[in-house]
Amino acid sequence: MTAATTAPAGGKPDDRRPAPGDPFDQDVLPTPPGATAALLRSLLAPMKARVAVTTLLLLLQQAVVQAGPLLVAYAIDRAVPAFRAQDHGPLVAVGAGYLGCALAAGALQWAFIAAAARVNQDVLLDLRGRIFRHAQALSVDFHERYTSGRLISRSTTDVESLRELLDEGLQELVTVVLSFVYISAMLLWLDLGLGGVAVASMVPLYALVRLYQRRAARVYRARSTAIAAVIVKFVETMNGIRPVRAFRREAANDTDFGRLNARHERTNGDALLEMARYVTGSRLVANTAVAAIVLWGAYRVADGTLALGVLAAAVLYLRRLYDPIDRLGMFLNSYQSAAASLEKIAGLLAQTPSVPEPVSPRPLPPARSEHPGREVVFDGVSFGYRTGGEVLPRFDLTLPAGQTVAVVGSTGAGKSTLAKLLARFYDPSPSSQLRSSRGDPYAGRVLLDGVDLRDLAVPDLRRGVVMVTQEAFLFSGTVADNIAIGRPEATRAEMEQAAKEIGAHDFISALPDGYDTDVRKRGGRISAGQRQLVAFARALLADPAVLILDEATSSLDVPGERAVQRAMATVLKGRTAVVIAHRLSTVEIADRVLVMEHGRIVEDGEPAELIAGTGRFAQLHRAWRDSLA
């Protein structure tokens, strides 16, 4: 073995190598054109009526608030002279009006915030749910590439930026538009000329807004990618904290994380600077306009073509006309940030599950005997990973109902792939060689009692086939919760029965709170072997027709494994079972053995028959006997 072999296999005509610029690597899944806007629309569509009511509340609130200067003008121009003439009526009216406006403004503000929060929270609830449900519907191979960190980023920080848009942005936008329309109307009504100038000043402001929008879009997209990368690194470190410590990765990780963090810092700063430029520009335009209008207005007062009170009111309105410009900036800010996030979310939602649920599912035929087992047929099945890796060339295989089949072979021989096809984690697909040479799309089918797995509804499929893997992950919650995943409606007694059968009951009872021990809390430490027992109990509880055990006893000690096997002898009776194990002790309970090598089934027969022979299995079996020493 030389160093040359470690170089990338560049010379090989190899289509398994991920293309440069893999969208998964760079966290840029393609978003179909218009999908972002469509997503936002579909989120808001069910809220139409409530959005309308909320907008109406805001409209009224603004109307009430904007009445202030009008009352001031009225007070100075009419009520004061009237008061001088001993007519107190108009001034009382002004006072009452102002009081009424104040109370109405407060009440409407209250109502608006409460109503808007309802709409916003419902939209966010919907979006969070959609991301989660969609991610759950996507297949295992998608998750292997997308990473949990990115999914977390999508459903936390990206949802958060939409929340900012909804919480502040929409209110800002509505306020801005409303107050602009309202104040412009007021100014035009007060004086056509002054109002006209004010409206004209909006043209350069609009240009400024467009410019900002374009620049900000780019910055925010970069920022969303940057924070996702930070999260991926963070999650990976925390989940692998033991090896991180044991191999002294802390300093190297600090450097890596520092790099990702600095990229986020930079994009974040860029975003804030864009905002600074926008605010300066818009203020300059606005303040220049104010000065110009006041100058002109003053001249006209001097001419006598404009009343002093009108100028006073106009000036008050003018200041307000430009106030919302900053807030428009904030809106654009949240909008761009949310748009970048929504784009990423839309890209995730646009992924189609490679293992889709059937549109019109077929039911399983009724059981043929009193035994739960069902027949499994691999009919011309072939499989190649999309990313390359191991491949199963086309093969046929029939497992009669009730048979226990042991699958043996070296690591990477395709045993797990066989199991995953049967559990429908993957669907058959033409292997890459087949694809490139013949372009034959037919990849075969996996049948359960004659029904293609692809036609089975999920509940039927999972009553039919259950797989226990060597990675015995435990979810937050109690031990009982974790077992109940097998069959949530099971009673406690059934659950304990399953645990007893598999030999897990003793250790579970010895935990501080027994079955109710929280696996993440004090005293809830559960060893790898014990986790496998929990996984077994879960599978037993599910009571499937076909049970697949993929290296499910690898972390058990010999007595533990024996206990499991004794249990299996009764549990598997009548069920169809596929058992993958390196420890050939499993074979003792098998009716049939398949030996796999390089994706092919090279031997197939009864254990005793194969052991007596001279083939691969006979060798393996001898080696195993020896290893028992």
Partner 1 sequence: MATTPAPAQDRSVVRTLLRLWPYVRPVRARLFTAAFVAILASCVGLVIPLVLKWMVDGPVAGRDPAGVWLGALYLLLLGFAEALLFGLRRWLVARPLSRVEASMRAALYRHLQRLPVSFHDRWASGQLLSRGTTDLMLLRMFLAFPLTFLLVNGVTILVGVIIMLLQDWTLGLVILGPAVPLLVTCVFFEKRYATAARRAQDQVGDLTTVVEESVLGIRIIKGFGRHRSQARAFRELSHELRGTELRKARLLATIWGVIVTLPEVAIGAALVVGAVQVADGDLSAGTLVAFLSTALALRWPVESIGFLLAMTQEAATATERYFEVMDEQTEEAGPAPESVPADPRDRGLRFHDVTFRYPDAPPGSPPVLRDINLHIRPGESMALVGTTGSGKTTLTALVPRLYEVTSGRITLDGVDITTLPREALRAKVAVAFEEPTLFSATVGDNVLMGAGDTAGPDALERALAVAQADFVHDLPQGTATQVGEQGLSLSGGQRQRIALARAVVGQPEFLVLDDPLSALDVHTEAAVEAALRQVLADTTALIVAHRPSTVLLADRVALLSGGRIAAVGTHHELLRTNAEYAYLMSGAESGRQEEAR
Q: Is 21 left (phi over 0), alpha (psi -120 to 50) or beta?
A: left
Give the residue with the Cβ less far from partner 1, 492 or 525: 525
CA dist 622 and 485 (Å) reads 39
User: What do you get for the CA distance between the two ends of the chain, in Å?
Assistant: 33
Tokens of 465: 């086939």
CB of residue 188 to partner 1, shortest distance in Å: 21
CA dist 74 and 151 (Å) reads 59
Give the residue with the Cβ less far from partner 1, 385 or 445: 385
Residues 70-106 as b/e (b if ≥16 CB within 10 A, e otherwise) read bbbbbbbbbbeebbeeeeeebbebbeebeeebeebbe
Give the residue with the Cβ less far from partner 1, 399 or 620: 620
CA dist 434 and 439 (Å) reads 6
CB of residue 258 to partner 1, shortest distance in Å: 6
The SS3 of residue 382 is strand
Give the residue with the Cβ less far from partner 1, 32 or 388: 388
Give the residue with the Cβ less far from partner 1, 602 or 624: 624
CA dist 485 and 600 (Å) reads 34
The secondary element (H helix, E strand) that includes residue 383 is strand 376-384
Give the residue with the Cβ less far from partner 1, 11 or 441: 11
Give the residue with the Cβ less far from partner 1, 189 or 247: 247
Give the residue with the Cβ less far from partner 1, 266 or 445: 266
CB of residue 297 to partner 1, shortest distance in Å: 9
Contact (CB, 8 A) for 440 and 434: yes
CB of residue 6 to partner 1, shortest distance in Å: 4
The SS3 of residue 426 is coil
Distance, C-alpha 31 to centroid of its chain: 15
CB of residue 34 to partner 1, shortest distance in Å: 27
Nearest to 604 by CA among 394, 22, 613: 613
CB of residue 181 to partner 1, shortest distance in Å: 20
CB of residue 266 to partner 1, shortest distance in Å: 7
Tokens of 581: 């194990």
CA dist 108 and 324 (Å) reads 19
Q: Is 248 left (phi over 0), alpha (psi -120 to 50) or beta?
A: left
CB of residue 563 to partner 1, shortest distance in Å: 8
Tokens of 156: 């936390």
Give the residue with the Cβ less far from partner 1, 128 or 445: 128
Beta pairing partners, 391: 384
CA dist 163 and 166 (Å) reads 5
Give the residue with the Cβ less far from partner 1, 69 or 169: 69
CB of residue 277 to partner 1, shortest distance in Å: 7
Long-range pairs of 162-165 with CB within 8 A, sequence gap ≥ 24: 162/123, 162/124, 162/127, 162/338, 162/341, 162/342, 163/120, 163/124, 164/334, 164/337, 164/338, 165/334, 165/335, 165/337, 165/338
CB of residue 442 to partner 1, shortest distance in Å: 25
Give the residue with the Cβ less far from partner 1, 125 or 203: 125
Nearest to 395 by CA among 116, 185, 594, 622: 594
Q: Which 8-state DSSP code applies to residue 19? A: P
CB of residue 265 to partner 1, shortest distance in Å: 4
Nearest to 168 by CA among 334, 293, 392: 334
Give the residue with the Cβ less far from partner 1, 80 or 377: 80
CB of residue 33 to partner 1, shortest distance in Å: 28
CB of residue 31 to partner 1, shortest distance in Å: 21
CA dist 559 and 598 (Å) reads 32
Give the residue with the Cβ less far from partner 1, 17 or 214: 17
Q: How many residues does the chain have?
A: 629
CB of residue 411 to partner 1, shortest distance in Å: 4
The SS3 of residue 522 is coil
Q: Say if residue 535 is exposed, middle or buried (CB neighbours under 10 Å; 0-12, 13-18, 19+).
A: buried
CA dist 140 and 228 (Å) reads 21
Nearest to 596 by CA among 405, 459, 404, 368: 405
CA dist 65 and 98 (Å) reads 10
Tokens of 456: 């089975």
Give the residue with the Cβ less far from partner 1, 369 or 614: 614
In order of 148, 243, 412, 495, 554, the CA distances from 519 in angstroms are 21, 21, 32, 17, 21
Give the residue with the Cβ less far from partner 1, 109 or 351: 109
CB of residue 428 to partner 1, shortest distance in Å: 17
